[in-house]
Amino acid sequence: MPKDTVVKPATVTCTAPVNIAVVKYWGKRNEGLILPINSSLSVTLHQDQLKTTTTVASCRSFQEDRIWLNGKEEDINHPRLQSCLREIRRLARKRRNDGDSSVDVGCLSHKVHICSVNNFPTAAGLASSAAGFACLVYTLAKVYGVDGELSGIARQGSGSACRSMYGGFVQWIMGEREDGKDSVAQQVEPESHWPDLRVLVLVASAERKPVGSTAGMQTSVETSSLLKHRAESVVPDRMKQMIEAVHKKDFATFAELTMRDSNQFHATCLDTFPPIFYLNTVSRHVISLVHQYNRHYGAARVAYTFDAGPNAVIYTLQQHVAEFLQVVRLVFPPDNNNGKTFLTGLQVEPVEISEELKNAICLEPMSKGISYIISTQAGPGPRVLEDPSQHLLGPDGLPK
């Protein structure tokens, strides 16, 4: 660049999705590299409803690397952020040395400013670190001109983030190597594979913040023999069965495996010493509701899964969504305030439910148990936003 040119940052903005596992990751064999004790599989949710947007600007006038998350400047020295920055820069240099001319060497010697926001409330308790680290790594890669396999770097920000690097149905292969090079995510099927599949996120009103996943799984690895059994003897077969169910769009098998895996994950939490409780009374009510609904039809029409918090994520098929939502409204009556906004995302026309079905659901109504529902579907992986008006950082490199 000639010396007299105005110093303008090179700016890229991308978005990345949230993912919800149906075979859970719980436990690391290497804390620093974030290597798991078992493989896992997830569905990438659609970014129309849930996404992180990240802008990265690189400029020779920047004095230091800086980051703003949801409007607040955060410490760039966070070890996991540093791992992602270091690894992406290392990869860019390696590619450049190997003769890849698309790598931007100029940018590599500059500092970066990073600004990231979620389109969903952090208070919703949805794991935002997966979308966040996936978006960070994807955007940095675009700034430096690096493409190809990047999930191994996103993994070093947060384990589950590696699965948000792809759309559709994604497995994280645990790998065997000590350096973690073979612990990467891989798309099993794209989002277009199963168009009828629907996802409902039931946001439960939580009393308090639960134990974080990182600390929780560390205690589980140290104390739970059930977790060891799960990782060694249950998950390998379950992964095969789940991949086959996805390939065949076999909802009944997909649903049963999903519920069993969520239940086993929470059983390992109870087997952790001291025990960890992520499910609350609302979660348990949702579990009973799903089983009563399925029993009424004599088929698995709906499946639940829970991560490290009380929110239920429901997988079902398009043809059952309206009726199941009506049943949820019956058991968790929305209060007057949120009656209108109880359901966000993909809209569904309300339907009447039969007296037989009403009678089959034997649960006390629990008002205010669920604060709202996000209705969504499987979606694509990270994307570049081409429109510069979408940048979160201004020409001065500061949040707009």
Residues that bind ligand DP6 (CB under 6 A): 21, 24-26, 34, 40, 127, 129, 158-160, 213-214, 307-308
Which stretches of 158-236 are assigned E, i.e. beta strand? 169-172, 185-189, 197-204
Tokens of 75: 């410490």
Q: For residue 246, report the phi and psi dihedrals to the nearest 5 degrees.
A: -65, -50
User: Using alpha carbons only, how large is the chain's radius of gyration in Å?
Assistant: 22
Q: Which amino acid type is present at position 239?
A: M
Residue closer to ligand DP6 by CB (options 11, 183) is: 183
Least distance (Å) between residue 217 CB and ligand DP6: 6
Beta bridge partners of 113: 57, 66
Residue closer to ligand DP6 by CB (options 127, 314) is: 127
How does DSSP classify residue 101? T
Least distance (Å) between residue 395 CB and ligand DP6: 34
Residue closer to ligand DP6 by CB (options 166, 293) is: 166
Least distance (Å) between residue 133 CB and ligand DP6: 8
Least distance (Å) between residue 305 CB and ligand DP6: 9
Least distance (Å) between residue 31 CB and ligand DP6: 8
Q: For residue 33, report the phi and psi dihedrals to the nearest 5 degrees.
A: -85, -10
Nearest partner of 43 among 72, 27, 23, 26, judged by Cα = 23
Q: State the Cα–Cα distance between residues 106 and 58, nearest whole angstrom.
A: 9
Q: State the Cα–Cα distance between residues 390 and 396, nearest whole angstrom.
A: 15
Least distance (Å) between residue 78 CB and ligand DP6: 12
Residue closer to ligand DP6 by CB (options 245, 327) is: 245
Residue closer to ligand DP6 by CB (options 258, 377) is: 258
Q: Which residues of 67-103 are buried (b: 16+ CB within 10 A; e: fewer)?
A: bbbeeeeeebeeebbebbbebbbebbeebbeeeeeeb
Pairing verdict, β 111-118 and 66-69:
parallel
Query: By the 8 A CB rule, do 133 and 84 touch?
Result: yes
Residue closer to ligand DP6 by CB (options 104, 307) is: 307
Least distance (Å) between residue 242 CB and ligand DP6: 13
Residue closer to ligand DP6 by CB (options 158, 377) is: 158
Residue nearest to ligand DP6 (CB): 159
- 367, with CB counted inside 10 A (0-12, 13-18, 19+), is exposed
Least distance (Å) between residue 227 CB and ligand DP6: 12
Q: For residue 188, report the phi and psi dihedrals to the nearest 5 degrees.
A: -90, -45
Residue closer to ligand DP6 by CB (options 127, 140) is: 127
Least distance (Å) between residue 212 CB and ligand DP6: 8
**CA atoms within 13 Å, Cβ hemisphere of 387:** 3
Residue closer to ligand DP6 by CB (options 284, 295) is: 284
